[in-house]
Amino acid sequence: MRLVHTADVHLDACFAGAGLPVRVANRRRQSLRDVFQAIVRRAAEWPADALLIPGDLFEHERVTPDTAAFLKGLFDSVRPLPVVIAPGNHDPYMAGSPYVAQSWPENVVIFNRPEWIAVPLCDGRLVVHGFAFDGYEISSNPFGALAIPCDGAVHVALGHGTERAHQPPDGKSYAPFDAETAFAPGLAYFALGHFHRLTEIPVAAGRWRMMYSGAPEGHGFDESGEHVFLEIEIEGEDLRVVPKTSGRVCYAVHDLDVTPLASTQDLVAALRKMATAYSAPPILRVTLKGLCDASLVGDLQAVRDALANDFEYLLLEDETLPAEDFDELSRDPTSLGAFVQRLNDEIRDAPDPDRRRMLMRARAVGVAAHRGHALDIAGLRGGEDRP
Amino acid sequence: MRIRTISIDGYGRFHNRTFDLAPGLQIIYGPNEQGKSTLRAFIADMLYGQKRSPSQRLYHEDNELRCPWDSPDSYGGRLIYVLDNNRSFEVFRRFDRKNETVQIFDRTHGCDITMQFPQLRNREPQFALEHLGLSKEVFLGAATISHLTLEELGGDEVIPSIREKLLALADSGDEYGSAEATLKRLQERMVSIGTATARTKPLQAAKARLAELRQEMEETERVRGEVSDMTKRRLELRSRAESLRAQRDTNEQDRQLLERARRAERLRQAERLQRQIDEATRQCFELSGVRDFPLDRTPEIQRAYNVAQTARSQLDRTVAGQQALAAQLEEERRRLGEGNTGDFQDIPETYDERLAELSSFLKRMSDRMEDLETARANAEDRRRIIEKELENLPDFSEAGEEADIWLNQLIQTFRSAVQIRSEEREKQAALHKQIAMLDQSVKEGGRWFAHVPDFAADAREYEVRIRLRDEQAAQLAAEAERLQAEIEEHRGRVPDFMWLSLLTVAILAGLIATAIVLGNSGIFVAAVTAGLAVFYFLGNFLYARARVKMLARRIEENGARMRSVQEGDDELCRRLEQLIVDAGCETIRELEGKFDTYREDLLKRDSLREAAEKQDRKTAEAEQRVTDLFQNYVRTFASLGETPSAEEDIEPAALRALERFRAYRDARRRLHDVRDLLRRHDAELERLHKDRNAARDEERALALEARRLMRENGYPEESRQDNVSLALRSYRIRMAQVRGKRGAIALLEKQAADLAARHDQEQADCAKHEEALARLLEAGGCACFDDWLRCAEDARKYQELRKSMALLQEQLGSLLEGGSLENLRAAVEADGPPPPMPPFTAESLASDRQNIEAELDAVEKESHALEIRLAERTAALRPVSEIEEERAEIENRVRALEWELEAASHAMAVIEEIARDKHARMAPRLAAIAGSFLREITCGAYDEIFVSRELRISVRIPHTRQIVEDPERRLSKGTVDQIYLALRLAMVQCLGELDESIPMLLDDPFANYDDTRLDQALRLLARLAEKNQIILFTCREDVLQAARGVNAPVLNLQAEIE
C-alpha cells in the first residue's frame, strides 16, 4: 500500500506578516501552487494508492475562485487517484467554503463532520478515517474517540490538531490531543496536519507511526530550513516513511556586522557571498549591525536592486549604530555640541526602545542638517524600508 | 595652547625643516606658493590627524598631494606646544598610510602619554580635543581666518553674510552650518515628507492609499459575501436542474405508453379509410364518359356568351341616341339666327391695366402732396419755438463742444484737492497722536533707563556676577555638606575612642596591680603596651573632639559667607534687581526686553518727529492749493451765471452750469434738425408736381386709342360711356355673349358625327362576338349554351369523387406515417395486446414536457447567468492576500514616514531652543568684545556694534550717529573686513573663555586695510596674542613693516628657502 502525505499548504496565504511586498508575495503564492501540483503529480505517477491531506490546504478567508478551480482541475487530472482531505482550522468545512460550494471530482473525498468517518478505498483493502473542522474552532474534538475494527484492511487516519507535547509555549491550540490516547490500536499510520515542520510524534504502538508532514514549502522567516512531503509504504507488517524534499525556496535569517565595510560595494559583496551558500536564490532577512557611516546604509533600496538576481527576495533591517562619536561631538562649545549633548541625555533616559530609536534618528537627522548632508528618508521610496 | 616648534620631516614642499614660533603674535611672511597654507594644514593635521571618518581609516583625498613622492616614509613631523598651565607636549606623527603612527610625549615629565588619551574607533588619540576642548571642525572653522573667507564678503548683503558666518561658527563650528540654515533644512525635510497641511506629499499620499486599500478590503469582503450567496444559489439551481431532468425522463416513459395505445387506434382508423376509398373508385367508373369534358373552358364560354348579349344591347341604344341629337341641333340653329353680325375682336387688356395704374398713381400723388404741405407747416412752428428757447439760455458757443468735459474736470480737480487736503490733515493728526503715545512710552521707560548710562553693559555684567554668585553659593553649599559629613564622622568616633581609652586605662591599672602583686616583670611589658594603647585612644579621642569643634566653627563661617553671598553687597546687582522690581519684571531677560523696547521707541519717536515735520509742510501745501483753485473758479463761473461764495458752492454751481450747457447743446441740435427737414419737404413737393402732370397727359392719349378700337369692332355704343374704362368693360360683356352661342352649335354638330361613326363600329362587333361563341360550343360537342351546362354538371361530379379519393388516400398515408398498412398491422401485433388508453393525453404530456423543458432552460440560463455574474464579480477583485500585503506595506511606509517626521520635528524643536538660548547668552559678550576691538582698529571711528539675541548685527554710523541694521551701502569694503575681523576675534574669545586659550591662524586678512588701520589691527593682535597665540601668514610687505612696528617676530619663508 502506497500513500503520499502532505498538509498545511496554505494556498492563497498572505505574506504580510513575513514583510514581503506584493510582487514577491504573488510569486510565493504561485510557488505554493507549483509545489503542491508537483506533489499531486508525483502521487499519481508513483503511483500512490491515496493522497492524504490532513488540513489547511488553503486559507478560507482568502481563497479565490481561481484556486478552487485549480484544485478541481488538478484532482480531476489525476483520477482515479483518491485524494482524501480532512479540513483543518484554516480551511474548515463550513458555509462558503469551496469544499461546500464546489462540486468536486469523484476521486476526491472530503470529510465533512467533526467526528470520525471511515472511507474504504482500493476495494476495501484500505480504510481512511478522518474528520473535519466545522469552523475556525472545532465544535467537538474527536481525538481519542477513534475505534479501529479488526477486518484485515489497512487502516490509516487523518487529523488536524495540536499535539500537546510538541506545542510551542506561546502557540494557540486547535483540537489538542495527546499522542497515546489519539493513536488507536489497529491503526497503521496517523497523518497529521497543523505543525509546519516535519515532526514525528512518538507512540507506543511499535512500528506504526504518527507524523506531521509539515508544510511543503515555508511561509515566512520562522519556517526556514528544508520542507518535505512524505511517501509512505505499508507492506504487511512493515511501514516505511520517506521524506521527499518539496520546498523550492529557502527562507533564512542572518545578521551582518557592517563595521569593517567601507562602502556599499563591500556591503553588496558581503550579501552576495551569503546568497552563494544556497543552491537557489533564497529569501533572506539580514539584520545589519555594527558601526557605520550613514552613507553606507543610507540607500538600502539601491543595495536591494543591485542584488535582485542573487536573491528571491532580500529584506534588510538596519540596526546599525552611527560610527560618529557623539560623545566627542557633544563636547563642542557650539549649538551642535549642545544639541548632541541634549539628545545624548534624552537617549540615555528614554523610557522605551521605540522612543530611543526615534531620538537616535533625531540626533542623526539634526547633525546631518547642521552639516548640510543629505540623509535618506525611510519610507520615501517604497514600503520595504523598516524604521 | 601655544605652538612652539614645527618640525617637518616631509610634508608638501617642506623637507627637514624646523620652525620655532613665538608664543604671542608670530608673523610668517612669504610670497605666494611659498607654503603658508601648507604650514597651516600641517598644524591642523598634527593636532587632529588626517582621517575623515571617526570610525574607519578613511582619508581625505587631498592629503595625497602632500605626501613626498620620493620618500613617503618621511611623510610627517613633530609639533611642540605648551598649554596655559605651562605643561609642554610633543606630537610625533607619520602620515604614511601603510605605516601610520602617532605619539604624544609629555615633555614636562618626560614620558609617552599616547595611551592616556581616549582613542576614536579610527585609532586616533583625542589629545587635541582634550587639550583645546574643540573638535577639528571647530578649530579649523573658528580659529582660522583666511583671506578667502573675507573675499566672500561683499555686495549688498554684507551684514547678513557676517551674521550667517557668526551663527554658523557658534552653532556648528564651521562657517556654513548655522542653526537657522539647519532649521531650514529640517523644515524642507519635513515638507518633503508631508506635514499636516500638505496634500500631495508622500505621507499624505500613503495615507490616502491606505484609506483606498481599506475601502477596497471592505468592498472585497462585501463581494465575497455576495459570491458566497451566488454560489449557494448556483448549487440550488444545479439541484433543481437534476430534478427537472428526472421529471423529463418520466414524461418520456408516459409518452411511449400513450404511443402504443394510439398505434392500435390508428390501425383501426386506417382500415376504415381503405374501405371508403374502394367505394369512391366504383362511382368514378360509372361517370367515366365525361372524364375528358373540357370543364375548365366553362368560364371562357360563359364570358363569350355574355359579350355577345352585351354587344347586341349596345347597338340598340346607339340608334336611339342618334335620333335625339338631330332634333336638338335643329332647335339651336334656329335660336342663333337673330342679329349679331359684328367681329368683336379682342382689345388688349393692357389698356385697362395701364389706365387703372395711371388713375391710382394720380390719386397717390395728390395725397402725398397734401401730407407734405401739412408737415412743412408743423416744422415751421417748431423752428420758431426752438429759436425762442435759445434766446433764454447763456451763450456757450465760446466754450466749444467739450464744455461738459471741461466742467467735470473742474469738479474733479477741486474735489481731489479737497480730498488730498483731508488726507494730509488725517496723516498729520495720526502722526502727532503716535508721537504723543511714544512720548508717553519713552517717558515711562525713561523712568527706569534714562538715568542708566549704559544699561546693556550693566545687564551683561549683572548676568556674569549673578552666575558667579550662583557658582559661589553652590561651592559653599557643597563645602558645607562636606564639612557636615566630616563632623558626623568625627562625632561618631568620639564615644568609641572614649570607651576604648577607659577600657585600656582599666587594663593598664589591672596589669600594673598584677605586676606589683606578683612581681612578674614580664607583666610590665604588657602594661607598657597597654599604656601605649591608652595614649593612642586618648589622643584620638581628644583629636576628634577638637576637630568637631573646628569643623563646627568652619560651618558657621561658611554659613555666614553663604548668607553674605546670597544677600550680596554688590551695588550694581542691587541696583539692577531694584530696577527689575520697579519695572514689574521677574528676570533680567524681561528687563532687557523692556530696555530693547524703550530704545526702539526712542528711535522710533525721533524718526516720527522728522516725519511729522514733513507732514506739516505737505498739509500746508494742500491747504494753499484748495484756496487758489476756489478763487480761480469764482472768476470762471461768473461768466456762466454762477456766483459761488464758499468751497461747498463750487460743485453745485459747476453742476448747474453743466445742466445749462446740456440744455443749450440740445436746443442747437434740434434747430439744426428742423431746418434740414424743411429743406427736404420743399424739394419733394417740387418733384411731385412734375410727376403728376406727366401722368395726366399719358391717361388722355390712352383713352382716345381705346375708343377708336371699340368702334372699329362693331360697338358704337361706347360713346354712351364718359369713362373709357367702363366703356371697355361693356364691350367685353357683349363679346362674351355672342361667342357662347356660336360654340354650342358647333359642339352639337360634332356629337352627331361621332354617334354615326360609333353605330357602324358596334354593328360589326356584335356579328363578330356571336360567331366566336358558336366556335367555342362546337369544341365541347354542344349545339347551344344549355347543352354545354348539362355536360359540365356531370364532369364536375366526377372530379369531386376523384378529389374525395385523394383526400382519403392522404388521411390513410398520414395514419400510416409513411409506412404501409401491413407494417402498421405488424407493429400493433408486435406491441402485444393494446393497453388501455392512459388517463393523460398527448397534449397534456407535451404540455408537461414543454413546461419541464422551459423550466430546465430557465434554470440553466439562470445558472449560466450566475456563472457569468460570478466570473464578473470576481474578475475585477484582487485577492484578499494581495490587498492585505499592500496594506501592510503602506502601513509600514506610513509608520516610517511618521517616524522620520517625528524625529525631524524633535530635532527642530531642540535645535531651535538651544540656538535661541545660546545666541541670547553669547550676544552681549560678543557685542562688547567686538565693539572694543572695532573701536581700536578704526581709532574710534566705529565704536559700537550691537548684537541682538538673534545675533542680528547693527552698527552705529559715525556721521549720522544712527544705529542701523542695513549699513552695507554706507560701509567700505575695508570697514566690512574690520567689522568681520572684530567679530571673529570676539567669537574666538567667547568660545575659548572657559577652556584652554586657542591659537589662531590668520591668513592675510588685511587686504583692504589702510595703513593706519593696519597698524591699529596689528597692535590689537599683538595685545590679544598675550592670551591667544596668533600666527599671521602674509605675503604683503606693508604688513611686514607694520608688524615690525609692534615688535612681532617675523619668519621669512622665502629667506629660509633661499
Sort residue A144 into left (φ over 0), alpha (ψ -120 to 50) or beta: left
- Residues B486, B557, single domain; the answer is yes
Last residue of a domain, one of B851, B875, B899: B875
Q: Which of A99-113, A345-359, B10-24, B582-596 has the lowest mean pLDDT?
A: B582-596
ipTM for the predicted complex: 0.83
Do residues A303 and B36 touch, judged by C-beta distance below 8 A?
no
CA distance B950 to chain A (A): 13
Highest mean pLDDT among A67-76, A274-283, B535-544: A67-76
What is the pLDDT confidence band of residue A133, given thresholds at 50, 70 and 90?
very high
Q: Label the pairing between strands B76-82 and B88-94.
A: antiparallel
Tens of pLDDT, residue by residue over B901-931, are: 999 999 999 988 888 887 777 777 778 888 8
Return the half-sphere exposure (C-beta side, CA atoms, 13 A cut-off) of residue B690.
5
B624 CB neighbour count, 10 Å cutoff:
11
Distance CA B182, CA B190 (A): 12
- Residues B568, B467, single domain; the answer is yes
Which residue, among B1041, B1034, B978, B984, has the nearest Cα to B27 in the 3D structure? Answer: B1034
What is the pLDDT confidence band of residue B153, given thresholds at 50, 70 and 90?
very low
Distance CA A188, CA A127 (A): 10
Number of helices (H), then strands (E), belonging to chain B: the values are: 24, 14
Q: Which residue has the cell 546687582?
A: B573
- Residues A11, A44, single domain; the answer is yes
What is the pLDDT confidence band of residue B353, given thresholds at 50, 70 and 90?
confident
- Phi and psi at A230, nearest 5°, equal -115, 135
Tens of pLDDT, residue by residue over B355-400, are: 888 888 888 888 888 888 888 888 888 888 888 888 777 777 776 7
Q: Is residue B956 part of a domain?
A: no
CATH of the domain at A53: 3.60.21.10
- Residues A30, A91, single domain; the answer is yes
- Residues A337, A273, single domain; the answer is no
Q: Which residue has the cell 463742444?
A: B401
Last residue of a domain, one of B549, B574, B589: B589
- Indicate the pTM of the whole model: 0.50
CB contact under 8 A, A20 and B206: no
Tell me the average pLDDT across B579-608. Answer: 83
Q: Is residue B539 part of a domain?
A: yes
- DSSP, collapsed to helix, strand or coil, labels residue A154 as strand
- Residues A43, A190, single domain; the answer is yes
Distance CA A246, CA B502 (A): 93
- Give A5's contacts (C-beta < 8 A, 6+ positions apart): A52, A54, A189, A191, A211, A213, A229, A230, A231, A232
Q: Which H helix or E strand runs over B1056? A: helix B1053-1057
Last residue of a domain, one of A204, A223, A245: A245
Q: Is residue B466 part of a domain?
A: yes
A:290-349 residues touching chain B, CB 8 A cutoff = 291-293, 323-325, 328-329, 331-339, 342-343
- Residues A318, A329, single domain; the answer is no
Last residue of a domain, one of A245, A276, A291: A245
β-strand partners of B146: B1003
Tell me the average pLDDT across B1000-1011. Answer: 82
- Residues A240, A153, single domain; the answer is yes
Residue B290, C-alpha cell as written in the block: 365525361
pLDDT at B340 over 80: no
Distance CA B295, CA B289 (A): 13
What is the pLDDT confidence band of residue A67, given thresholds at 50, 70 and 90?
very high
Q: Is residue B584 part of a domain?
A: yes
Q: Is residue B731 part of a domain?
A: yes
Tens of pLDDT, residue by residue over A191-212, are: 999 999 999 888 765 667 889 9
- Residues B690, B744, single domain; the answer is no
CA distance B204 to chain A (A): 11
Q: Is residue B667 part of a domain?
A: yes
pLDDT at B351 over 90: no
- Residues B220, B286, single domain; the answer is yes
Q: Which residue has the cell 377708336?
A: B708
- Residues A162, A270, single domain; the answer is no
Tell me the average pLDDT across B566-589. Answer: 78
3-state per-residue secondary structure call for B406-442: HHHHHHHHHHHHHHHHHHHHHHHHHHHHHHHHHHHHH
Residue B79, C-alpha cell as written in the block: 609639533
- Residues A47, A103, single domain; the answer is yes
Q: What is the DSSP string of B335-394?
A: HHTSS-----PPPPTHHHHHHHHHHHHHHHHHHHHHHHHHHHHHHHHHHHHHHHHHHTS-
pLDDT of residue B966: 61
Q: What is the DSSP string of B116-132?
A: GS-B-TTS-B-HHHHHH
| Summary mean pLDDT of chain B | 82
pLDDT at B151 over 60: no
Length of chain A: 387
CB contact under 8 A, B995 and A336: no
Q: Is residue B548 part of a domain?
A: yes
- Residues B736, B703, single domain; the answer is no
Domain housing B381: 350-394+646-712
CB contact under 8 A, B232 and A101: yes
pLDDT of residue A285: 93
- State percent of chain B over pLDDT 70: 92
pLDDT at B338 over 60: no
pLDDT of residue A227: 93
Tell me the average pLDDT across B802-819. Answer: 85
Distance CA B442, CA B601 (A): 6
Distance CA A371, CA B868 (A): 64
- Residues B854, B870, single domain; the answer is yes
- Residues B227, B313, single domain; the answer is no
- Residues B478, B536, single domain; the answer is yes
Q: Is residue B79 part of a domain?
A: no
- Residues A212, A135, single domain; the answer is yes
CB contact under 8 A, B185 and A372: yes
pLDDT of residue B738: 64
Q: Which residue has the cell 544639541?
A: A339
pLDDT of residue A207: 66
Do residues B150 and B977 touch, judged by C-beta distance below 8 A?
yes
What is the pLDDT confidence band of residue A233, given thresholds at 50, 70 and 90?
very high
The beta-carbon neighbor of B177 closest among A17, A370, A377 is A370
- Give B87's contacts (C-beta < 8 A, 6+ positions apart): B106, B108
Distance CA B862, CA A284 (A): 50
Q: Label the pairing between strands A117-121 and A189-193.
A: unpaired
CB contact under 8 A, B907 and A14: no
CA distance A27 to chain B (A): 11
Do residues A159 and A54 touch, judged by C-beta distance below 8 A?
yes
pLDDT of residue B147: 58
- Residues B807, B865, single domain; the answer is yes
Tell me the average pLDDT across B1032-1041. Answer: 85
Task: Give A4 or B983, the one with higher predicted confidence.
Answer: A4
Tell me the average pLDDT across B548-552. Answer: 89
What is the pLDDT confidence band of residue B169, given thresholds at 50, 70 and 90?
low
Tens of pLDDT, residue by residue over B1009-1028, are: 888 888 888 888 888 888 88
Contacts of residue A293 in chain B, CB cutoff 8 Å?
A: 53, 55-56
Please return the burial class of A97, using the count of CB atoms within 10 Å of its CB with bins 0-12, 13-18 and 19+. buried
CB contact under 8 A, A333 and B991: yes
CB contact under 8 A, B54 and A366: no
- Residues B501, B581, single domain; the answer is yes
Tens of pLDDT, residue by residue over B264-302, are: 888 888 888 888 888 878 777 777 777 777 778 888 888
pLDDT at A217 over 90: yes
Last residue of a domain, one of B857, B875, B893: B875
Indicate the residue type of A164: R
pLDDT at B951 over 80: no
- Residues B371, B268, single domain; the answer is no
- Residues A30, A145, single domain; the answer is yes
Residue B329, C-alpha cell as written in the block: 341641333
Contacts of residue B896 in chain A, CB cutoff 8 Å?
A: 378-379, 385-387
Question: Max CA-CA distance within chain B?
Answer: 228
Domain housing A226: 2-245
Please check whether residue A95 touches B, CB under 8 A: yes
Tally of domains in chain B? 4
What is the pLDDT confidence band of residue A385, given thresholds at 50, 70 and 90?
very low
Do residues A125 and A155 touch, judged by C-beta distance below 8 A?
no
CA dihedral B353, B355, B356, B357 (to 10 degrees): 80
Do residues B136 and B127 touch, judged by C-beta distance below 8 A?
no
CA distance A148 to chain B (A): 35
Q: Which residue has the cell 452750469?
A: B657
Q: What is the DSSP string of A76-101?
A: HHTTTS-EEE---SSS-S-TT-HHHH
Tens of pLDDT, residue by residue over B719-765, are: 888 888 888 888 888 777 666 666 777 787 788 788 888 888 888 88
- Residues B687, B576, single domain; the answer is no
CA dihedral B62, B64, B70, B73 (to 10 degrees): 130
Tens of pLDDT, residue by residue over B667-690, are: 888 888 888 888 888 888 888 888
Indicate the residue type of B494: V
Instruction: Please give the order of strands across the beta sheet that includes B953-956.
Output: B945-947, B953-956, B963-964
Last residue of a domain, one of A289, A306, A323: A323
Distance CA A8, CA A3 (A): 17
Do residues B863 and B238 touch, judged by C-beta distance below 8 A?
yes
Tens of pLDDT, residue by residue over B605-636, are: 888 888 898 899 889 888 888 888 888 888 88
- Residues A281, A236, single domain; the answer is no
For residue A133, the Cα-to-chain-centroid distance in whole angstroms is 21
CA distance B21 to chain A (A): 27
Tell me the average pLDDT across A124-138. Answer: 94
CA B495, B501, B504, B505 dihedral sign is negative
Do residues B1047 and B41 touch, judged by C-beta distance below 8 A?
no
pLDDT at B848 over 80: yes
- Residues A150, A194, single domain; the answer is yes
CB contact under 8 A, B994 and A384: no
- DSSP, collapsed to helix, strand or coil, labels residue B509 as helix
Q: What is the DSSP string of B162-210?
A: HHHHHHHHHHTSSSS--HHHHHHHHHHHHHHH--TT-SSSHHHHHHHHH
pLDDT of residue A2: 94
Tally of domains in chain A? 3
Contacts of residue B870 in chain A, CB cutoff 8 Å?
A: 65
pLDDT at B154 over 50: no
What is the pLDDT confidence band of residue A216, given thresholds at 50, 70 and 90?
very high
- Give A82's contacts (C-beta < 8 A, 6+ positions apart): A49, A50, A51, A107, A108, A109, A121, A122, A128
pLDDT of residue A384: 46
Q: What is the DSSP string of B547-572?
A: HHHHHHHHHHHHHHHHHHHHH---HH
pLDDT of residue A259: 87
What is the number of CB-based contacts under 8 A between chain A and chain B? 216
pLDDT at A127 over 90: yes
Tell me the average pLDDT across B437-447. Answer: 86
| Summary mean pLDDT of chain A | 89
Residue A240, C-alpha cell as written in the block: 516505511
pLDDT of residue B69: 74
CB contact under 8 A, B995 and A339: no
